[in-house]
Structure 1
Amino acid sequence: MTIVVTGATGSIGRHLVRQLTDAGADVRAMVRDERAGAALGCPYAVGDFDRPETLAAAFAGADRLLLNSAGAIPTTGPQPMVRQQKDALDAASAAGITRVVKISALGARPGAKLSLGAHAEIEAHLTASDMEWSLLRPTGFMQNFFTGQGGTTVTGDIVGPYGDGRVAYVDAADVAACAAALLTGGKGAGEAYTVSGPEALTHGEIAALLTAALGRPVAYRDVPAAERAAELTAQGLPAAFVADLVELWAEMAAGAQREVTTAVRDLTGREARTFAAFLRDAAA
């Protein structure tokens, strides 16, 4: 059984490729650049979501697919991820792939803001296909606090309008482990899983954990949404995108991402990693 992993160099993909390889699975990473593929240390194929003609060769002879790609910030028009992933699903079906595990997002629903509506549209395309499917809908990644996507600034503080809202951030490696279980086993067909960490933390509590792990002060500065939105707009982000962010921030502050689930334990047989454990290893 051959498993193709798209997004193989990303936060989830690089963990998944390593986990599948260590387990002895027949894995093929799809990459846009040969040098990136060679660095993964596993078989790879060159393919590009923006060049659908490359997908047939990348998927040829495969049985299962991990579908994952990053959403872009559209300046005009629809989210390009919709077109990209729909084309990939059509190519997968044509190639004879029988099962797809899609990385979606918590809160995916028709008409939702940012990439959440896009994920919902892709989910509908997948569930209407002739392939078996499973959906993973993770919360925000713990890794985001080291990439700037968690609201961290260049000084290392966390800045945002999150208030006391709690978020059950998850380690991307745990999401990868859930995907590995679904791709190598028989369970989970036709199921959607919300994947969270084992605790829901405020951003103030996360700042305290970062302080302890990094050995330097990290503060959480709560700022009004309008102030933060003005800063991002001044940095060049499209106004419509920032307006959608404001709605997302309000949902986070209200606790929309606080649910703690057992998906990691249910799929992998072990508990999800705590934020403190993740930070200890990241700091090292």
Structure 2
Amino acid sequence: MRVLITGGKGKTGRRVASSLTAKGIDVAIGTRRPDGPKDRRFDWADPSAASAFHGCDAVYLVAPTDRTDHLAVMQPLLEAAMERGVRRFVLLSSSLLEPGGPMMGEVHAWLAECAPEWAVLRPSWFMQNFSEGPHAATIREEGIIYTATGSGRVGFIDAEDIAATAAACLSATTPLNSDVVLTGPEALSYDDTAAIITAALGRPVRHVSLDPAALIARFVAQGLPPDYAKTLTDLDADIAAGVEDYTTSSVEQMTGQQPTSFRAFANRVVENWK
């Protein structure tokens, strides 16, 4: 068996590759800038990227991050993959995106209708947003986490657990042919995460909840387009309203292992904040 991993050097892709390799499964890494023996050039906007599917039985799908019309750009290559013999498709989506909804939701609905074997992973917010993503620099430099979430809680999930679930879906004898919502073991507010990081780091870290207009202005000042800044801020408003305040048992059901707690995560990555 060989699996193509699109976004193969990203947060989840590189971890999926490691998890599959540990299972003895051959992987091909789809990337815009190939530089290794397992790398294959892959770009959703380039029809010639269909050649990356050659010899693969399954594919891990990470949607492009520079646009929102995901099905329009992904469908031609998904059809090309099927023509080349790929049977199983595992899509990384989001807990907030229902099938048929915007962005990856459109791809979700298409796979359910058209793919021979499929699974859609819908994780909550990544713990890695604190260590590798937008909060990492402000934690290091200011001791502050900025959001517009108020006291809303999130079932933050470790990207390692997402990858383990993806590897299970890609390698299972029986296809899932469904979607799963993935969370960590507990729902936490950003005040809670700041307290946990404070304990791990040994110096104060606090959460500052901005009003939505102030967060939009902050994003725009960082160089984000105004429409995208508003979209991100609207997601924080959803958290404030309680939309993400829940947990699921999907990681344990799919992998046989308990998902990582935020405290264990913080202790593991504490060097990122020093």
> TM-score higher than 0.5 here?
yes
Q: Paired residue for 1:208, among 184, 195, 198?
A: 195
Tell me: CA distance 1:203–1:183, structure 2 relative to 1, closer, same or farther (3 Å). same
**Partners of 1:11 and 1:172 within 8 A in 2:** yes
Counterpart for residue 40 of structure 2: 45
Counterpart selection for 2:161 from 174, 177, 183 = 174
Specify the alignment match of 1:222 in structure 2: 209
Shift of 1:110: 6.8
C-alpha deviation, 1:225, in angstroms? 1.2
Q: Single out whichever of 127-136 and 149-158 deviates more from structure 2.
A: 149-158
Matches within 5 A, 1:124-163: 124-150=109-135, 153=138, 154-163=141-150
SS state at 1:137 partner? strand
How far apart are the structure 2 equivalents of 1:21 and 1:151? 29
Counterpart residue number, 1:101: 90
Is the 8 Å Cα contact of residues 100 and 109 (structure 2) preserved in structure 1?
no
Deviation at 1:241, TM superposition (A): 2.1
Kept after mapping to 1: 8 A contact 2:91/2:120:
yes
Alignment of 1:248 onto 2:248: no
CA drift of 1:49 comes to 1.6
Alpha-carbon distance, 1:186 to partner: 2.6
Partner in structure 1 of residue 265 of structure 2: 278
Name the SS for the 2:7 alignment partner. coil
| Native 8 Å contact 1:152 1:158 kept in 2 | no
Q: Between 197-206 and 86-95, report the one with greater CA deviation.
A: 86-95
Per the TM alignment, residue 150 of structure 1 is displaced from its structure 2 partner at its CA by 4.4
Distance 2:39 2:133 in 1: 29
Relative to 1, partners in 2 of residues 1:129 and 1:265: Cα closer, same or farther, differing over 3 Å? same
Q: Is 1:83 paired with 2:72? A: yes
1:80 CA drift (Å): 4.7
The answer to whether 1:26 aligns with 2:15 is no
Q: Residues 69 and 208 from structure 1, CA distance in 2 versus in 1: closer, same or farther, beyond 3 angstroms?
A: same
CA offsets 1:213-255 (integer angstroms, 9 cap, x no match):
2222111112211211122233332222233233222111111
State the partner residue of 2:6: 6
User: Residues 147 and 70 from structure 1, CA distance in 2 versus in 1: closer, same or farther, beyond 3 angstroms?
Assistant: farther
Q: Match for 2:214: what amino acid? A: E
* Aligned equivalent of 1:268, options 234, 246, 255: 255
Q: CA deviation at 1:269?
A: 0.3
Q: Flag the 1:148–1:15 CA change in 2: closer, same or farther, 3 A.
A: closer
TM-score, with length taken from structure 2: 0.91
The alpha carbon displacement at 1:191 in A equals: 1.1
Counterparts of 1:188 and 1:171 in 2: how far apart (Å)?
A: 24
**Alpha-carbon distance change, 4 to 118 in structure 1, aligned in 2, over 3 angstroms:** same
CA contact (8 A) 2:63 2:104 kept: no
Mapped to 2, the partners of 1:81 and 1:152 lie a distance apart of: 30
Give 5+ residue unaligned stretches, structure 2: none
SS at match of 1:62: coil
SS at the partner of 1:247? helix
Among candidates 59, 69, 74, match of residue 63 of structure 2 = 69
Q: 2: distance between equivalents of 1:32 and 1:109?
A: 28
Note the residue ranges of structure 1 that are not aligned, 5 or more in a row. none
Describe the shift of the 1:272–1:195 C-alpha distance in structure 2 as closer, same or farther (beyond 3 A).
same
Kindly state the Cα deviation for residue 111 of structure 1 after the two structures are TM-superposed.
Answer: 8.1
Q: Quick one: distance in 1 between partners of 2:70 and 2:154?
A: 25
Instruction: Report how far residue 188 of structure 1 moved.
Output: 4.6
